[in-house]
Chains A and B, each alone.
Chain A
C-alpha cells in the first residue's frame, strides 16, 4: 500500500435524501462481496407505552413475521435461501431492521427490506406465537444471573422514566400486549421523516441511490412520530445498597452506577478517555488492575457510560465469589473516588488516546462495523466528517479537560448499588458498608 492510499482508508460517507424526506447514508466497501442494509426508525423502547414495555422490540420482530406478499416461512426461505440474515430489534432511541447478505443479491435484498418495513402483515397467529415465545424466554431468563441483575438494576435506577423498563419487557408487560399495540407503534413511529437507511457494501453509490429511490420513495409511513425523548429523568432511584437474594448462586453479580450524560455533550470525548482509564480499558484500566490483577477477586470488571439521546446510565459491572462481595464494592468505590479526585496521569491519558486512535481502523473491517458507526452518526446528528475527525477529536483532549470531566461526572457518593447473590453469605459484610435494602425482581 502506498502512503497516499494509506491516508484514504477512512470511508467516505455519501448522503442522499429521497422525495419522501427519508435519509440514505452509505459507504462503498471493497473488502468482501458483502452488503449490510439497515433501516432505522428513530424511536425505540423509550417510546414504549406505559405498562407495555417491550412494544418497540416486539414491533420490530413483528415486521419479520410476514408481509402482505409472503408469509413468515416464505420470507425466511427467501432470506436464508440467499445466505442472508434478517434481524429486527428495538433499542433505546431507535429500532432497526437489518438485512446482511451477498452483494450479488443487493437488489433483491433491498426490495426485501423495503417490503418488510413498508407492508408488514402482522398476522394474528404469529403474533400469538411471538407473545408465547417472549414469555417463555423471560421465564428462562430468570436462570441467568447477569441478565436478571441488569434488568433489575435499570428498573431500580430509572423507575418509571422512559429508560426504566427492560428493552424486551417483562412477564406482566408482555402479557398486556396485544396486536393493536404493535400496529399502533408501527404506524406512529415508523415514518420516512424520522427514518434512515444505511447501506454499506460492495455496491456503487449510484446503484444504492437508484434502488433506494425505487424501493422507498413512495413510502409515506403513518402519523407523525412522537417527539424524541431527550430530557433527564424526573426521578431517580435513591443511592444505597440493594440486595436481591438468590440462595443457590456461588457468585454475586454487582452493579454500581449513577446517571450519566446524553450523547450530544461537549465532554463526550474527555469522558470516554477518563472511563477507559477507570474501567473501560480492560487490563489497562484501574478497576481491572486492582480488583482482578492485584486481588484476584473477579474474572471481569468494567465501567461504561451509556451515551443516549437523553442522559443514560453510568454503570460498573462485575461479579465475585459471594464471600468477597462487600470487599469488591469497597475497593471499587475507592478506585472511583481516586479517579474523581484528579488522579488521571499524563501517561494514562496518552495511552488511552493512543488506544482509541490506533484501534479505530479495526472497526472498519466489516460492513456491519461501519454501518453501526453510520447509524450512530445519523441518530445523534453528528457531522458526516465524524470518522475523518475522530482521531483529531481524541487527540485534542487535554489532561486538565479529562481530569475535570472525571471530577464533574463521576459521583462515588451517589452510587445506586445492586447485589444479586446469596444473602446468607454476603449480607452481614454488606451491612458494614451501610443500610441494605432487600428487593425482589418486580
Chain B
C-alpha cells in the first residue's frame, strides 16, 4: 500500500460519527483503517464528584468490582478472555468519570462489546469477592497516597482548597470510608449510575461506522434505562484569602504544594491558563526550569493542570509543586516563585514564550492522533464532560487564538494570593513521625 508521506497534505480532522439509541445511549465511532486494531471504550458519567462524605472512594472501588464477575464470567475472567485474543484491558476513575477500555485486534471487537454489555447488565458480586477487592484497593491507596512522597499532602491541599465541592476528597477515598463501605453501597451505586443514559460508548479504529452501530445497538440498545442520573448541585464559592497548612512526615526534602482555582473544561479561558502553566513549567526553556531547576535551587518545579480531555468538568486546581534542593531554603523558593508570577502579572510574557508553548500544544495534539486509544478518549471524555465531542477538532485553534493579553489576564485573575491554598511539607524524624500517630 502506498504511504502518504507529505505532512502538508495531512488533514488532522477527526471524523466522528455520533449515534443515539432510544434508551439514551450515545455511541461515537472514529473510523481509522491504518492498522487492524480498535479501541472500545465505555465511559460512565460518574466519578468522585458524585460521592458524598461517608462513601468517598466508592467510584474507584466500584471500578474494581466491575472485574469481579458477572453471570457469564468469574472474577478477573473478563481481562483473561480479552487478553487471550491479543487485547489489553484496563479502567480508570477520575473525579468526573469512570472509564473502561479494551484495545484489541479489530476482528475481536464484538467480544469486547458483548462482554462490556454483559457485565453492565449481569454484574454478579459476592460478599467474599467484595471483601477481597476492598483490601486490594486499600493496598493501592497505600501505594499511591500513604507511602508516596507527596500523596497525603496533596490530599490535604484539595481538602482545604474546596470547602463545598466534592473535589475536596480524594478519588481513592478516605481509608476510613473504604473500610466501612458495604457491598450494598456498591450495588446501589451501580443501579444509580451505570445505565445507558449516563454513559457514552466509543469505537475508535479499524471499523465501519454502520457495523459498529449495528453491533453496539445489538448488545446495548435494549438495555433499559431509568433516565439520566441525579445532577451534581455543588458549586465552590470564590476563595477569599490564602489558606495555608503544614504537613509533617518523614521526608528528605522540604516542599510546597499550591493550588489555585481555575476555570473548568467548558470555559474557553482554560486554554490561556493551560498555556500560562506551560510557560511556567513545560520544558527546559520554561521559566520554572531556567530560573529554579537548572541552577539547583529546586529539585523540581511542577506546574500542572490537566489538558483536554482530562481537564476538570467543574472548576479545578492548577497545581504548583516546588521541591527545595537540599540546603536551599523552602521559604525563599516559594517567595521567588510568587515573584516570577507577579512579574508575569505586571509585564506579561514574550511572544517567543507564547509561540513556544503554542507549538508544543499543537505538536502534542498531532502526535496523539496516531493513537486510536487517545483519539477515543478525547472524543468520549469531551462528550461526557461538555456534551461536545466535535470540539476536539478545534483544540489547536483554541490554543492558537490565545493572545499575550489573555496570558497576562489569566495570571492576574487566577494566580493570586487570595485564590491560593498552600501546604508545606515539613520533614520530621522517625520518632516524631511515630509520635504523630498512624497514617492511613
Q: Which of B1-60 contact A (CB under 8 A)?
A: 1, 3-8, 10, 33-37
User: In the complex where A80-B356, A133-B296, A136-B325 touch, is A355 in contact with B135 (Cβ < 8 A)?
Assistant: no
Q: Which of A102, A358, A364, A366 contacts B7 (CB 8 A)?
A: A102
Q: Do B296 and A143 touch (CB < 8 A)?
A: no
Q: Which of B137, B139, B294, B370 contacts A251 (CB 8 A)?
A: B139
Q: Do A251 and B147 touch (CB < 8 A)?
A: yes
Q: Which of A247, A250, A355, A357 contacts B142 (CB 8 A)?
A: A250
Q: Do B250 and A80 touch (CB < 8 A)?
A: no
CB contacts (< 8 Å) of A351 on chain B: these are: 80, 83-84
State the CA gap A247–B440 with chains docked (Å): 15
Q: Which of B366-382 contact A (CB under 8 A)?
A: 366-367, 369-372
Q: Do A284 and B83 touch (CB < 8 A)?
A: yes
Q: Closest CB of chain A to B299's CB: distance in Å?
A: 5
- For A291-316 the 0/1 string (1 means CB < 8 A from B) is 01111111110000000000000000
State the CA gap A34–B325 with chains docked (Å): 36
Q: 4 nearest interchain CB pairs?
A: A358-B86, A83-B363, A33-B7, A296-B132
Q: Do A102 and B139 touch (CB < 8 A)?
A: no
How many Cβ-Cβ contacts under 8 Å join chain A to chain B?
218
Q: Do A77 and B285 touch (CB < 8 A)?
A: yes
State the CA gap A32–B371 with chains docked (Å): 9
Q: Do A104 and B135 touch (CB < 8 A)?
A: no
Which of A5-13, A44-52, A161-169 interfaces with chain B? A5-13
User: In the complex where A83-B359, A364-B35, A366-B370 touch, is A359 in contact with B86 (Cβ < 8 A)?
Assistant: yes
B87 within 8 A of A: yes
A103 within 8 A of B: yes
State the CA gap A77–B284 with chains docked (Å): 8
Q: Closest CB of chain B to A99's CB: distance in Å?
A: 12
A400 within 8 A of B: no
Q: Do B5 and A82 touch (CB < 8 A)?
A: no
CB contacts (< 8 Å) of A64 on chain B: these are: 284
Q: Which of B8, B250, B323, B360 contacts A104 (CB 8 A)?
A: B8
Q: Do B7 and A250 touch (CB < 8 A)?
A: no
B253 within 8 A of A: yes
Q: Which of B36, B143, B252, B369 contacts A319 (CB 8 A)?
A: B143
CB contacts (< 8 Å) of B133 on chain A: these are: 296
Q: Closest CB of chain B to A7's CB: distance in Å?
A: 10
State the CA gap A132–B137 with chains docked (Å): 38
A354 within 8 A of B: yes
CB contacts (< 8 Å) of B362 on chain A: these are: 83
Q: Do B284 and A362 touch (CB < 8 A)?
A: no
Q: Do A33 and B296 touch (CB < 8 A)?
A: no
Q: Do A321 and B142 touch (CB < 8 A)?
A: yes
Q: Quick one: closest A residue to B296, CB to CB?
A: A132
User: In the complex where A9-B34, A83-B360, A102-B363 touch, is A144 in contact with B86 (Cβ < 8 A)?
Assistant: no
- For A247-284 the 0/1 string (1 means CB < 8 A from B) is 11111000000000000000000000000000001111
B293 within 8 A of A: yes
B403 within 8 A of A: no
CB contacts (< 8 Å) of A292 on chain B: these are: 136
CB contacts (< 8 Å) of A232 on chain B: these are: none
Q: Closest CB of chain B to A267's CB: distance in Å?
A: 23
Q: Which of B5, B284, B290, B434 contacts A28 (CB 8 A)?
A: B5
Q: Do B439 and A139 touch (CB < 8 A)?
A: no
A237 within 8 A of B: no
Q: Do B36 and A6 touch (CB < 8 A)?
A: yes
**Sampled A-B contacts (13; CB under 8 Å):** A9-B35, A80-B356, A83-B363, A139-B253, A140-B323, A143-B251, A202-B7, A204-B5, A247-B434, A251-B139, A296-B135, A296-B136, A300-B143
A367 within 8 A of B: yes
Q: Do A80 and B283 touch (CB < 8 A)?
A: yes
Q: Do B34 and A31 touch (CB < 8 A)?
A: yes
Q: Do B36 and A1 touch (CB < 8 A)?
A: yes
Q: Do B364 and A83 touch (CB < 8 A)?
A: yes
CB contacts (< 8 Å) of B283 on chain A: these are: 76, 80, 85
A414 within 8 A of B: no
User: In the complex where A76-B283, A133-B293, A250-B439 touch, is A283 in contact with B84 (Cβ < 8 A)?
Assistant: no
CB contacts (< 8 Å) of A82 on chain B: these are: 359, 363
Q: Closest CB of chain B to A152's CB: distance in Å?
A: 16
Q: Do B76 and A357 touch (CB < 8 A)?
A: no
Q: Do A293 and B146 touch (CB < 8 A)?
A: no
Q: Do B5 and A129 touch (CB < 8 A)?
A: no
CB contacts (< 8 Å) of B147 on chain A: these are: 145, 249-251
State the CA gap A298–B86 with chains docked (Å): 25
Q: Which of A343-378 contact B (CB under 8 A)?
A: 350-351, 354-362, 364-367
Q: Which of A83, A202, A247 contacts B5 (CB 8 A)?
A: A202
Q: Do B139 and A298 touch (CB < 8 A)?
A: yes
B326 within 8 A of A: yes
A142 within 8 A of B: yes
State the CA gap A354–B108 with chains docked (Å): 12
Q: Do B143 and A299 touch (CB < 8 A)?
A: yes
Q: Which of A5, A34, A361 contacts B366 (CB 8 A)?
A: A34
Q: Which of B3, B6, B290, B430 contacts A247 (CB 8 A)?
A: B430
A118 within 8 A of B: no
State the CA gap A70–B104 with chains docked (Å): 46
- For B293-309 the 0/1 string (1 means CB < 8 A from A) is 11110011000000000
Q: Do B80 and A81 touch (CB < 8 A)?
A: no
CB contacts (< 8 Å) of B76 on chain A: these are: 283, 288-289, 293
CB contacts (< 8 Å) of A126 on chain B: these are: 294
CB contacts (< 8 Å) of A77 on chain B: these are: 285, 352, 356
CB contacts (< 8 Å) of A139 on chain B: these are: 252-253, 299, 326
Q: Do B433 and A143 touch (CB < 8 A)?
A: no
User: In the complex where A298-B136, A357-B86 touch, is A76 in contact with B323 (Cβ < 8 A)?
Assistant: no
CB contacts (< 8 Å) of B383 on chain A: these are: none
Q: Quick one: closest A residue to B371, CB to CB?
A: A365
B244 within 8 A of A: no
B164 within 8 A of A: no
Q: Closest CB of chain A to B84's CB: distance in Å?
A: 4
CB contacts (< 8 Å) of A362 on chain B: these are: 37, 88, 103
Q: Closest CB of chain B to A354's CB: distance in Å?
A: 5
Q: Do A143 and B149 touch (CB < 8 A)?
A: yes
Q: Closest CB of chain A to B425's CB: distance in Å?
A: 10
A124 within 8 A of B: no
Q: Which of A52-91 contact B (CB under 8 A)?
A: 64, 72-73, 76-77, 80-85
CB contacts (< 8 Å) of B372 on chain A: these are: 365
Q: Do B10 and A33 touch (CB < 8 A)?
A: yes
